[in-house]
C-alpha cells in the first residue's frame, strides 16, 4: 500500500442536513456510530477496518461492480457488497471469515485472469490498488491460466498530451466513467459493448483527444491501475513525498498535492493531484491546475537579475545586490527630481497575500505615497465598490459549498465551464440534482446546453446591457409583488428601499420597455424574475461579464439589490458571489492593493487606521489616495510618473488600449519588472527581477469564497530569492527595514493590523486547512456565510438599496464599427497565457480565434478558419475566424491569451464610471476578411 495515497473511506459521506441521530452497528466486534445513509464500507473505515475494494472510492457513489467488498451480515442471506449496503442500527457485520476470504480470492482471480502480469515493469508498480488488493486477499495462483480470452492486445490511446489510456490494464471498475459524469459532469467516458466485451471508451469518439474530454484528470485520479496514468508519473517514477499546496490559476483555489521525488534542492514533480482536503475543490481539478504546471521549470524562466540603461540595449545579468541597489538609486533619483509621487507599483493577483502586503507596504512606507494598484483594477474593482456600497463588505457572501443548497442558480456574465471549471462541475452537479438555472450572457456558453444540464432560461442580451436587464428583473419582482417584505423590513434601510422600489417600478424599466435595448424578449425576463424570486433558495454567481463595463459598478449594485429584495442573503444556498478570475484577486484587494485603501478595505484618509499602521511601520503615511493603474499610464505620458515596480503583471498584454499602455511605459525612466518570464511588458523594462513560481515559496492565497489557503514551498526559488524576499531586500535598499524570517511573520503582522484577519495565523491554517475571513475573536474559525442576521459593516447593520439608472456606454455600434466585440477565456488557456502557453495546453487551444455569427460572416464573405482583420477606434489586429452560432448576430467574441492576436490592441479606454475598470466586454469593431495568407510567424 502506497503510504502517500490519500485516505479513502470507500463511499461518500452521508448527505448532511438530516436530523436523524447516528445509528450504531458492530463491525468485526467494533462498535461504531455513523449517520444514517452511511455505507457499511464507510462505517467499517471509521471503525478502522479496511474492507478490500476496487470499484469503490469515496468521491464517487458506489457501483457494486468489483465484488471484492463482500461481507457477512448477521440475519441476512448471502454476501452483500459493503459499498452499496447502508449501515443499519444494530447490524452485526463480519468483514473477515474463511468463506469471505475464499470468495474474494476467487473474484480477484477472475479479475487477474484478464490482466497483464507485468507488475515489475508497470508505471503503477508500488502505487497500484489492484496490486494492493491482490496482496490483501492473498491470491497466490490464477487457476484459469493465462491462455483464455483477454484484452491484453488492445491498442493504447496516447492521444492526450497529459495521460495515456492502456485498455490492457483496465479492470472495468467504472470509476473513470463515474468520475467523468458525477465529478466533472462531462460524461465523456462510457462503457461500450456488453459482457466480456464491455470496455471503457471515450464516448463514441475514436480517442480521448477527439472526444468531449476536457482533460480534468478526474478519471486518472481514480483509476486503480495504470490504465489511466499521467505521462509525468510514467516518466518520473513513484513519488517519495507529498506537499499540500494551493493552485495558482483561477479564483477557485483548489487544494493540490505536489508529488515529488529526487533530491530536496532539485526535486522532480511527479504529478499534481487534487487534494480531497481542499475545501474549494474536494478532490477535483481542471486541466490547468492538474496538468499545466510545466511552465514552472520551463526553459524560458529567467533566473538571474538583469538591468539595462535603455530598453534598446541588451540585457546585462547582474547580482541581486547590484540590481536592487540600482532600483533603489533610480527610484530615489526620480523622486528627488520629480517628486515623491512620481513612482509607484502594480501588485499582482497571482502573488501571495504576504507578497501583496509587502509591496503595498513598500509603496506606502518606503515610496511614501499611495501609488499602488492591483490588477484587480481591471477585473473586479466594481465588485469591491458595488458590494461595499450595498452590503458593506467587498466580497462574495458564500462558500462554494453553499450551492449544494441552492434551488435556483443565476449565472450572470460568467463562463465557469471555461474560467472556473471546478466550480462549474459543482454547479452542474447541483443542476443535475434538480436546481433550476438562469443564464444571463450574450453568448450561448456551455451551461446553456451541455450534457444533462440545460438552462431553464437564457437571457441572451446584447453586450453592455446588463444593467437594463437586471433592472428589468427588479421591475418584475417589485411590480408582481415578489419581494421578501419581511427580509427587507428587518434587514435593509427603509428609505433606500422605497426609493429603489419607486425607481425600478417605473414603466421605462419594464422588460417590455427595455427589450429593444437589451434584445431580450420580455417574456423571458419575466420568467427569469419569477423563477429567481420565487423558486426557493436563489444564488447569483457573476463574473467579469458584469464588472468589465462602463456600468460595471452599477450592475454589481443591481445584483446586490436583487438579492436583498428577495431575501436571498445570509444563509446557505443563496447569496451574491463574484467568481474571481485569478488565484488571489480577493487577497490582493484584501491586502491593501488599491491606492485608496489600507489592508482590510480601510480608506487611507481614515486617521485612526493610518495611525495604527504608522505606529507599526515607524513612518508617516500619505492620507490621499494614490494613482490607479490607468492614471499611472496617463501620468507617465504627462511626465509626472516615471518609475514603476511591476510585480507579476503584464499590462502590455492584459490592459486595454495597448497602444496607449506601450506609449506610457516607453515614457517612463525606470520600469522594474518582476516576473517568471520576459513578457510583453519586459520590452519596456529597464530592470528585470526574476520571480518565483508558486512551487518556490511559502504564503497564502485567498479564493473567491474568502478562503485563505496555504501555498507551500516544494523547491528552492530558482533565482535564489522568493518574491517576498526580493521586496524585502528592495525595501532595505530604500532604507525601510523589513525583517521577516518567514511569510508566517508577515501574516502575523497582517493579523495584528487588520481586524477581519485578526484570527488568521499559519498555525491555525495548518490545523484547519483553510480559513474564510472575517476570522477574529467573533469568528475564530472563520466565516463561511456572510451577513447572517445583519450587514455588520453597514451603518445600523442595514443593507442599502441603490438606484441603477441604465446609462448606455459611449462604446456602441456605428456604421464604421457595426459589430460589438466582447472578450473572455477558454478552458485550456489562462489570461495572457504566460503560464499555459508554455505547456501542452497549446494542443487544446493554440490561437485566439474570433467567433462570428454565420450571418455576419456570410455578409463579409468569411468562412470558418479565414484570417480576418479586427479593427476598432483604438487599434487593429488580425486573427482567424470561427463561424459559430454561439454568438448572436452583431456580436463577435475572442480571447486574449496570445500576444500575437492582441485582442487588447483593439479594446478601448472606456471604463467603469466608479472604478475605472476597463470595458473589455464592449468594443465597437469592424471585421474584414483578409485575403493575404497567414504570416509565417503566426504559426503556433
Partner 1 sequence: MFVPGDAAALALGADRVAGAIDREARWRGMEVRIVRNGSRGLFWLEPLVEVATSSGRIAYGPVAAEDVPALFDAGLPEGREHPRRLGRIDELPYLARQRRIVMNRVGIVDPGSLGDYLAHGGGRGLERARRMAPAGIVEAVIDAGLRGRGGAAFPTGIKWQTALAAAATPKYVVANADEGDSGTYSDRMLMEGDPFCLIEGMAIAGLAVGATRGYVYVRSEYPHAIARLEAAAAAAADWLRDQSVDFAIEVRKGAGSYVCGEETAMLESIEGRRGEVRAKPPLPAIAGLFGQPTVINNVVTLASVPAILAEGAAGCRDHGVGRSRGTLPFQLAGNIRHGGLVELPFGQTLRELLYDFGGGSRTGRPLRAVQVGGPLGAYLPEAAFDTPLDHEAFAAIGASLGHGGIVAFDDSVDMSRQARYAFAFCAAESCGKCTPCRIGAVRGVELMDQLRAGDGSRIGLLRDLCDTMIHGSLCAMGAMTSNPVLSALDHFPEDFA
Chain residues in the site for partner 1 (CB under 8 A): 62-68, 70, 78-79, 81, 83-86, 103, 106-107, 110-111, 113-114, 143-144, 148-149, 171-172, 174, 190-191, 193-198
Task: Please tell me whether residue 881 adopts helix, strand or coil conformation.
Answer: strand
Task: Please tell me whether residue 530 adopts helix, strand or coil conformation.
Answer: helix
- 576, 383 Cβ separation under 8 angstroms: no
Please state the closest distance from residue 592 (CB atom) to partner 1, in A: 50
- 367, 345 Cβ separation under 8 angstroms: yes
Beta carbon nearer to partner 1, 133 or 661: 133
Q: Show the DSSP H helices in 451-578 as ranges.
A: 466-479, 485-491, 494-504, 511-518, 522-534, 544-547, 552-565
Please state the closest distance from residue 284 (CB atom) to partner 1, in A: 23
Please state the closest distance from residue 423 (CB atom) to partner 1, in A: 24
| Helices 552-565 & 466-479 angle (0-180, nearest 10) | 20
Phi/psi at 40 (5° precision): -60, -35
Which grid cell is 749?
503582522
Distance separating alpha carbons of residues 36 and 33, to the nearest angstrom: 9
Beta carbon nearer to partner 1, 170 or 644: 170
Please state the closest distance from residue 110 (CB atom) to partner 1, in A: 4
Beta carbon nearer to partner 1, 449 or 620: 449
Beta carbon nearer to partner 1, 107 or 427: 107
Q: Is the dihedral of CA 499, 501, 507, 508 positive or negative?
A: positive
Distance separating alpha carbons of residues 453 and 433, to the nearest angstrom: 10
Task: Please tell me whether residue 19 adopts helix, strand or coil conformation.
Answer: coil
Beta carbon nearer to partner 1, 65 or 296: 65
Distance separating alpha carbons of residues 201 and 555, to the nearest angstrom: 45
Please state the closest distance from residue 661 (CB atom) to partner 1, in A: 53
Beta carbon nearer to partner 1, 142 or 468: 142
3 state SS for 690-729: ECCCHHHCCEEEECCCCEEEEECCCCCCCCCCCHHHHHHH
Task: Please tell me whether residue 373 adopts helix, strand or coil conformation.
Answer: strand
* Residue of 694, 610, 689, 592 whose CA lies nearest to 644: 689
- Could you write out the DSSP letters of every residue in 834-889? TTGGGSGGGGT--S-EEEE-HHHHHHTT--TT-EEEEE-SS-EEEEEEEE-TTSPT
Which grid cell is 304?
538571474
Please state the closest distance from residue 130 (CB atom) to partner 1, in A: 12
Beta carbon nearer to partner 1, 191 or 209: 191
Please state the closest distance from residue 258 (CB atom) to partner 1, in A: 35
Place of cell 496555504: 710
Please state the closest distance from residue 198 (CB atom) to partner 1, in A: 3
- 345, 644 Cβ separation under 8 angstroms: yes
Beta carbon nearer to partner 1, 148 or 795: 148
List the beta bridge partners of residue 255. Answer: 246
Distance separating alpha carbons of residues 83 and 178, to the nearest angstrom: 15
Longest dimension (CA), the chain: 91
Distance separating alpha carbons of residues 18 and 497, to the nearest angstrom: 37
Please state the closest distance from residue 76 (CB atom) to partner 1, in A: 12
Please state the closest distance from residue 191 (CB atom) to partner 1, in A: 6
Beta carbon nearer to partner 1, 173 or 252: 173
Stretch (H or E) spanning 381: helix 381-390
Distance separating alpha carbons of residues 516 and 506, to the nearest angstrom: 16
Beta carbon nearer to partner 1, 85 or 679: 85
Please state the closest distance from residue 276 (CB atom) to partner 1, in A: 23
The DSSP call for residue 682 is G
Beta carbon nearer to partner 1, 38 or 923: 38
Beta carbon nearer to partner 1, 113 or 261: 113
Beta carbon nearer to partner 1, 147 or 312: 147
Distance separating alpha carbons of residues 290 and 224, to the nearest angstrom: 18
The DSSP call for residue 232 is H
Please state the closest distance from residue 107 (CB atom) to partner 1, in A: 5
Beta carbon nearer to partner 1, 112 or 569: 112
Q: Show the DSSP H helices in 250-319 as ranges.
A: 287-291
Please state the closest distance from residue 7 (CB atom) to partner 1, in A: 23
Q: How many angstroms separate the first and last alpha carbons of the chain?
A: 44
* Residue of 560, 541, 551, 563 whose CA lies nearest to 445: 541
Please state the closest distance from residue 846 (CB atom) to partner 1, in A: 35
Please state the closest distance from residue 71 (CB atom) to partner 1, in A: 12
Which grid cell is 279?
475545501
* Residue of 589, 607, 587, 591 whose CA lies nearest to 599: 591
3 state SS for 791-823: CCCCHHHCECCCCCCCCCCCCCCCCCCCEEEEE
Beta carbon nearer to partner 1, 148 or 735: 148
Amino acid at each position: 500500500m502506497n503510504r502517500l495515497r490519500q485516505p479513502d473511506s470507500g463511499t461518500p459521506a452521508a448527505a448532511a442536513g438530516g436530523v436523524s441521530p447516528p445509528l450504531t452497528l458492530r463491525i468485526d466486534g467494533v462498535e461504531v456510530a455513523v449517520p444514517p445513509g452511511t455505507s457499511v464500507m464507510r462505517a467499517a473505515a471509521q471503525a478502522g477496518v479496511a474492507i478490500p475494494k476496487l470499484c469503490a472510492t469515496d468521491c464517487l457513489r458506489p457501483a457494486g461492480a468489483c465484488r471484492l467488498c463482500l461481507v457477512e451480515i448477521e440475519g441476512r442471506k448471502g454476501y452483500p457488497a459493503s459499498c452499496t449496503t447502508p449501515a443499519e442500527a444494530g447490524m452485526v457485520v463480519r468483514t473477515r471469515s474463511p468463506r469471505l476470504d475464499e470468495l474474494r480470492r476467487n473474484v480477484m482471480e477472475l479479475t487477474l485472469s484478464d490482466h497483464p502480469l507485468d507488475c515489475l515493469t508497470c508505471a503503477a508498480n508500488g502505487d497500484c490498488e489492484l496490486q494492493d488488493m491482490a496482496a490483501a486477499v492473498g491470491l497466490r495462483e490464477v487457476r484459469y491460466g493465462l491462455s483464455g480470452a483477454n484484452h491484453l492486445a488492445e491498442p493504447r490511446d496516447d492521444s492526450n498530451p497529459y495521460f495515456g489510456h492502456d485498455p490492457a490494464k483496465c479492470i472495468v471498475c467504472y470509476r473513470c466513467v463515474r468520475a467523468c459524469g458525477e465529478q466533472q459532469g462531462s460524461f465523456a467516458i462510457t462503457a461500450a459493448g456488453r459482457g466480456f466485451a464491455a470496455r471503457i471508451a471515450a464516448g463514441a469518439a475514436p480517442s480521448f483527444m477527439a472526444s468531449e474530454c476536457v482533460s480534468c484528470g478526474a478519471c486518472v485520479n481514480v483509476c486503480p491501475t495504470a490504465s489511466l496514468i499521467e505521462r509525468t508519473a510514467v516518466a518520473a517514477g513513484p513519488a517519495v513525498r507529498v506537499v499540500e499546496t494551493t493552485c495558482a490559476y483561477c479564483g477557485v483555489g483548489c487544494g493540490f498535492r505536489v508529488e515529488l521525488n529526487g533530491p530536496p534542492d532539485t526535486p522532480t514533480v511527479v504529478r499534481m493531484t487534487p487534494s480531497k482536503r481542499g475545501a474549494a475543490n474536494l478532490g477535483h481539478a481542471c486541466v490547468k491546475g492538474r496538468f499545466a504546471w510545466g511552465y514552472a521549470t520551463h526553459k524560458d524562466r529567467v533566473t538571474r537579475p538583469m538591468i539595462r540603461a535603455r530598453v534598446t540595449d541588451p540585457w546585462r545579468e547582474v547580482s541581486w545586490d547590484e540590481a536592487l541597489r540600482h532600483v533603489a538609486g533610480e527610484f530615489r533619483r526620480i523622486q528627488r527630481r520629480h517628486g515623491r509621487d512620481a513612482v509607484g507599483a502594480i501588485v499582482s493577483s497571482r502573488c501571495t497575500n504576504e507578497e501583496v502586503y509587502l509591496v503595498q507596504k513598500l509603496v506606502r512606507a518606503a515610496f511614501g505615497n499611495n501609488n499602488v494598484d492591483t490588477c484587480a483594477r481591471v477585473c473586479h474593482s466594481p465588485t469591491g465598490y458595488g458590494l461595499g456600497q450595498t452590503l458593506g463588505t467587498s466580497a462574495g457572501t458564500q462558500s462554494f459549498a453553499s450551492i449544494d443548497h441552492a434551488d435556483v442558480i443565476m449565472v450572470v456574465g460568467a463562463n465557469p465551464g471555461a474560467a472556473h471549471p471546478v466550480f462549474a462541475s459543482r454547479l452542474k452537479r447541483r443542476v443535475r440534482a434538480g436546481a433550476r438555472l438562469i443564464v444571463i450572457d450574450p453568448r450561448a456558453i456551455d451551461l446553456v446546453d451541455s450534457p444533462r444540464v440545460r438552462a431553464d432560461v437564457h437571457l441572451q442580451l446584447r453586450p453592455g446591457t446588463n444593467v437594463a436587464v437586471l433592472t428589468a428583473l427588479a421591475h418584475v419582482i417589485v411590480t408582481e409583488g415578489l419581494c421578501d417584505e419581511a427580509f427587507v423590513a428587518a434587514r435593509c434601510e427603509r428609505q433606500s428601499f422605497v426609493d429603489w422600489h419607486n425607481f425600478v417600478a417605473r414603466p421605462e424599466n419594464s422588460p417590455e420597455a427595455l427589450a429593444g435595448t437589451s434584445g431580450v424578449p420580455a417574456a423571458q425576463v419575466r420568467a427569469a424574475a419569477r423563477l429567481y424570486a420565487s423558486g426557493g433558495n436563489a444564488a447569483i454567481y457573476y463574473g467579469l461579464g458584469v464588472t468589465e463595463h462602463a456600468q460595471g459598478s452599477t450592475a454589481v449594485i443591481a445584483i446586490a439589490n436583487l438579492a436583498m429584495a428577495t431575501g436571498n442573503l445570509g444563509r446557505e444556498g443563496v447569496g451574491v458571489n463574484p467568481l474571481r478570475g485569478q488565484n488571489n484577486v480577493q487577497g490582493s484587494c484584501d491586502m491593501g492593493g488599491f491606492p485608496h485603501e489600507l489592508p482590510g478595505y480601510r480608506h487611507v484618509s481614515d486617521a485612526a487606521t493610518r495611525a495604527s499602521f504608522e505606529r507599526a511601520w515607524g513612518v508617516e503615511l500619505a492620507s490621499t489616495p494614490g494613482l490607479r493603474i490607468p492614471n499611472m499610464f496617463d501620468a507617465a505620458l504627462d511626465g509626472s510618473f516615471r518609475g514603476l515596480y511591476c510585480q507579476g503583471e503584464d499590462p502590455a498584454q492584459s490592459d486595454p488600449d495597448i497602444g496607449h499602455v506601450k506609449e506610457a511605459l516607453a515614457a517612463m525612466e525606470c520600469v522594474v519588472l518582476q516576473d517568471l518570464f520576459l513578457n510583453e511588458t519586459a520590452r519596456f523594462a529597464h530592470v528585470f527581477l526574476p520571480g518565483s513560481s508558486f512551487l518556490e515559496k511559502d504564503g497564502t492565497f485567498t479564493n473567491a469564497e474568502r478562503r485563505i489557503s496555504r501555498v507551500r514551498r516544494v523547491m528552492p526559488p530558482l533565482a535564489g530569492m522568493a518574491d517576498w524576499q526580493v521586496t524585502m531586500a528592495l525595501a532595505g535598499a530604500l532604507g525601510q527595514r523589513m525583517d521577516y524570517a518567514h511569510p508566517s511573520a508577515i501574516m502575523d503582522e497582517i493579523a495584528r493590523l487588520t481586524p477581519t484577519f485578526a484570527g488568521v495565523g499559519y498555525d491555525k491554517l495548518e490545523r484547519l486547512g483553510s480559513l474564510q475571513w472575517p476570522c477574529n475573536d467573533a469568528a475564530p474559525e472563520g466565516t463561511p456565510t456572510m451577513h447572517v442576521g445583519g450587514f455588520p459593516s453597514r451603518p445600523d447593520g442595514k443593507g442599502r438599496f441603490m438606484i441603477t439608472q441604465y446609462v448606455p456606454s459611449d462604446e456602441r455600434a456605428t456604421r464604421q464599427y457595426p459589430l460589438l466585440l466582447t472578450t473572455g477565456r477558454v478552458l485550456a488557456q489562462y489570461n495572457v497565457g504566460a503560464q499555459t502557453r508554455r505547456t501542452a495546453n497549446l494542443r487544446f487551444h493554440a490561437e485566439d480565434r474570433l467567433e462570428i455569427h454565420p450571418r455576419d460572416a456570410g455578409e463579409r464573405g468569411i468562412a470558418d478558419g479565414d484570417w480576418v482583420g479586427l479593427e476598432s477606434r483604438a487599434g487593429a489586429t488580425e486573427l482567424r475566424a470561427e463561424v459559430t452560432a454561439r454568438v448572436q448576430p452583431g456580436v463577435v467574441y475572442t480571447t486574449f491569451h496570445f500576444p500575437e492576436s492582441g485582442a487588447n490592441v483593439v479594446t478601448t479606454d472606456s471604463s467603469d464610471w466608479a472604478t475605472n475598470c476597463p470595458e473589455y466586454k464592449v468594443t465597437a469593431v469592424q471585421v474584414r476578411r483578409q485575403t493575404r495568407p497567414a504570416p509565417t510567424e503566426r504559426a503556433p
